[in-house]
Amino acid sequence: MPTSPSPPPRLAPPPATPRPVGLRAGVVWTVLGQGTSAAAQWAVVALLARLGNPEAVGQYALGLGLVNPLYLLLGLQLRSVQATDAGEARPFGQYFSLRALTMLLALAITAGLAALYPRAAGVILWLGAAKALEGLSDVTYGLMQRHERLDWVSRSTMLRGVLGLGLLAALFAATGSVTLGAAGVALAGLAVLLVHDLPLARRLAPGGWWTRHIPAGLPRLALPLGVVMGLVSLGSTLPRLFLEHAHGSAAVGVYSALSYVTAAGSIVVVALGTALTTRLSHLFATGQRAGFVRLTLGLVGAAAAFGGGLTLLAAVAGGPLLGLLYGPDYAAEGRAFLWLTLGGALSYLASCAGFAVTAARRFREQLPLFAAVTVLLALACAWLIPPYGVMGAAFAGLIGAGAQLAGSGLIVAGALRAGPAPVSGDP
């Protein structure tokens, strides 16, 4: 008897893409994530200051100051390139493979930096490993941000911050070794990457991620932005390097403790700018200039209010606040703290303009600006830090932030006049 053909096997439906959380929820999540991360970073400095001494703070800050510019440079800001790729022109595997290769290169260079600073070699190596792992997490953040899942990004940053703080605190309290504390930070980054970030990224981009085919256009497009971010980070490192050379690790520790307050204050600006970048990019790419300007000005207004409030707090109660946070050794630095908050307020405004520039995909235009800002800042540090110490570093930072704000504003104005750039993704 003839048999009827069996029905074809039913294929399982592809997994549904998780629904975006929306703009308002994304802002709330980002503020929460950035706030927790910044609070954890500040708590690390406060803990080292309380349980150790300014030299311990300076050693840790010097390690971060050396590795941060390197990993931001070689990270190529692929997260921002992904988040502003409105047409999704490139598969995620190209971004992930490129980031993995650049992080390996960064680890090799970190070993060379450790050899140049033998007193902080262990701290530099472990913080370099932590930054490499964070770099792999960061490229998954770009994928999550493009799908408007900023809740996942924020959860990751919170986990990394809290776990890193806990491990560093436990190891430093038990051993008094800043090197072992830095190893705890790296261990936290590994745990968050394996347990949280990679599994969630798989839900958005299933399949293989490794590819040997990385079109030359991608690193060519991203390199200017990577150089810019490396220069931005170098700008925060230069005062520490000049202070270390002219006044020693204790001065670096004092400056780092004071500046971490203004750095923590940037969480609102960074959170808002991160959450709004994709929306700003869409408005600019579709020619909605009025909406782009309105959203940018709202971001600027929030940054101005926050920076002004922090500066007022430093003017009224800077010394007592520093004594409460770090101890009596820091309470006498209220005047330097006030100037640091002024520089921080200007840097918040400059960051707003920077988010607008990135949303307009004006990557190359930022390179000459930040090269000039870095040179100006280096000259200011060389002129002001040897005679004035921490106060000179605060003055130099104020000069650099003002120059960055002026230049970024000019780039935004030029982008608005010229209109959207080509959307192909290649220069």
**Residue pLDDT, tens place only, 52-97:** 777 777 778 788 878 888 888 888 878 777 766 655 567 787 888 8
Helix or strand (DSSP H, E) at 398: helix 390-418
Measured distance CA(351)–CA(365) in Å, rounded: 15
Q: Tell me, what DSSP letter sits at residue 118?
A: G
Measured distance CA(153)–CA(49) in Å, rounded: 30
Query: Would you call 228 helix, strand, or coil by DSSP?
Result: helix
pLDDT of 227 > 60? The answer is: yes
Q: b/e string for 213-238 if b means 16 or more Cβ within 10 A?
A: eeeeebbebbbbbbbbbbbbbbbbbb
3-state helix, strand, coil split of the chain in percent (to 5) is 85, 0, 15
Angle between helices 178-192 and 150-175 (to 10 degrees): 150
pLDDT band for position 130 (cuts 50, 70, 90)? very high
Give me the pLDDT at residue 106, please.
92
Which is more confident, 199 or 363?
199
At position 371, the amino acid (one-letter code) is A
Among candidates 334, 308, 312, which has minimal Cα distance to 321? 334
- Report, as an integer, the average pLDDT of 401-405: 89
Taking residue 34's Cβ as centre, other Cβ atoms within 10 Å add up to: 26
Q: Radius of gyration (Cα) for the chain, nearest Å?
A: 22
The model scores a pTM over 0.75? no
pLDDT tens readout for residues 350-396: 888 888 887 887 767 777 888 898 899 999 999 999 998 888 888 99
pLDDT of 294 > 80? The answer is: yes
* CB contact at 8 A, 396 and 345: no
DSSP of 360-373, one letter per residue?
A: TT-HHHHHHHHHHH
At position 376, the amino acid (one-letter code) is L
Which is more confident, 379 or 263?
379
Share of residues in the chain with pLDDT > 90 (%): 14
pLDDT of 324 > 50? The answer is: yes
* CB contact at 8 A, 126 and 183: yes
* CB contact at 8 A, 258 and 243: no
Token couple for 348: 């918040």
Token couple for 220: 């060519």
Rounded to a whole number of angstroms, the distance between the first and last alpha carbons of the chain is 67
Which is more confident, 12 or 93?
93
Helix or strand (DSSP H, E) at 322: helix 289-326
